[in-house]
Structure 1
């Protein structure tokens, strides 16, 4: 199991973790300048090996006593990806079950639950691909052909990043309806952590309907 420090700068805690969820599964070299190269023909694994990573959450340079764990395991329907973050006052968990084929995720089930600070939230989706329908805990609605869930989208993002795509977006099924997640590559930078200096690539998510952005 790998241990890392997660530096949380802006946006939801979970959102900051999504793009590193596949770190132990589809590790690829960091590209310093994506504008100068063509997208390489990466060969992605046909099967995903089990993996787990644990993160220590830091907000504005201050440890908050919260651990976050990401675990990928085989499942009878394909794979299960689980994210969990908790401390004495707060707990958040998400679980996604999905198929994986040629660097494409096909979700079957997704659920999330948060509790703490007087707040309790939860939601769930069953993906009925035969009927082309999402059975969400807050709505039932038609599925987009390439719909993902809010957690398995992390696996897809690894593929887009490895191909050096400068922008990409996903149709994401939420408990109350379809949404669109939009991302774009930013510049490479050196990040200094307790484990040393790392060459990193920044990714920015746009929220057009909210007029804000989150950078990971």
Structure 2
């Protein structure tokens, strides 16, 4: 049973980086402060037990005024790879292409998603799942729709001191997802860049769900994810902790 629980939490831990909400500066201010490339490494723990599994997230400047954001997890149990190619406008990512490939726990799935923003906006999806034939479909989206990886980057633009509850919509695979977000306060954490003040945020897929994910974002690092915890039950949770960082804030390393 312990092994099965670990498998569930490793799978759930993949979602820890996919749903970070928004944060505190205005779009006008952020347009003066464009995205800066970075590379972050996280360690995955299960119920406070360290594991050898690591997650790597990287932001790079691409061609034609685009950016590339990637997330990779590779271990003996599974391989997970995500890539989003997008443009950055008015403090919002505008996705062009999103790719997600997962293999592990006797499951295999690949999503290839192309976003089209000329009215009416839509997303075209090709799904390869296990041994099934590829599935191709298209569905409408709104101007505010995000993909589940670049949603990480909206954490600098949407929160304000007067509002603590939010909803975000993403397009993932064959359907939309709604994320219910609540800001829970601030907390100081020890990190590879020293002690950082973070904003603590909780996400639920359903408003009444007992399962939840908690994120700690560092405003000093452009609201970068420092820690995340996915809680299945009081005694069973998966956790991501930042263990290394390369980027514009290297000067903070001790």
State whether TM-score is above 0.5: yes
Q: Which residue of 2 aligns with 1:53?
A: 40
The TM-score normalised by the length of structure 1 is 0.75
Q: Confirm or deny: 8 A CA contact 2:17 2:149 kept in the other structure.
A: no
- How many Å separate the matches in 2 of 1:175 and 1:83? 17
The TM-score normalised by the length of structure 2 is 0.65
Structure 1 pair 145–97 and aligned structure 2 pair: CA distance change class (3 A)? same
Indicate the SS of the match to 2:157: helix
Deviation at 1:167, TM superposition (A): 2.4
Q: Which residue of 2 aligns with 1:64?
A: 51
Deviation at 1:59, TM superposition (A): 1.9
Deviation at 1:175, TM superposition (A): 1.6
- How many Å separate the matches in 1 of 2:148 and 2:17? 11
In the TM superposition, what whole-angstrom CA distance separates every residue of 1:108-143 from its partner, at most 9, and x where no partner exists? Answer: 111111112222122121012225221012531112
Structure 1 residues 45-124: aligned runs within 5 Å: 45-77=32-64, 78-124=66-112
1:126 paired to 2:108: no
Q: Confirm or deny: 8 A CA contact 2:114 2:124 kept in the other structure.
A: yes
Indicate the SS of the match to 2:16: helix
Indicate the SS of the match to 1:107: strand
- How many Å separate the matches in 2 of 1:105 and 1:174? 15
Deviation at 1:89, TM superposition (A): 2.1
1:214 paired to 2:213: yes
Q: Which residue of 1 aligns with 2:14?
A: 14
Q: Which residue of 2 aligns with 1:35?
A: none
Indicate the SS of the match to 1:76: coil
Superposition RMSD on alpha carbons, in Å? 3.1
Q: Which has the higher contact order (CA 8 A, sep 6+)?
A: 2
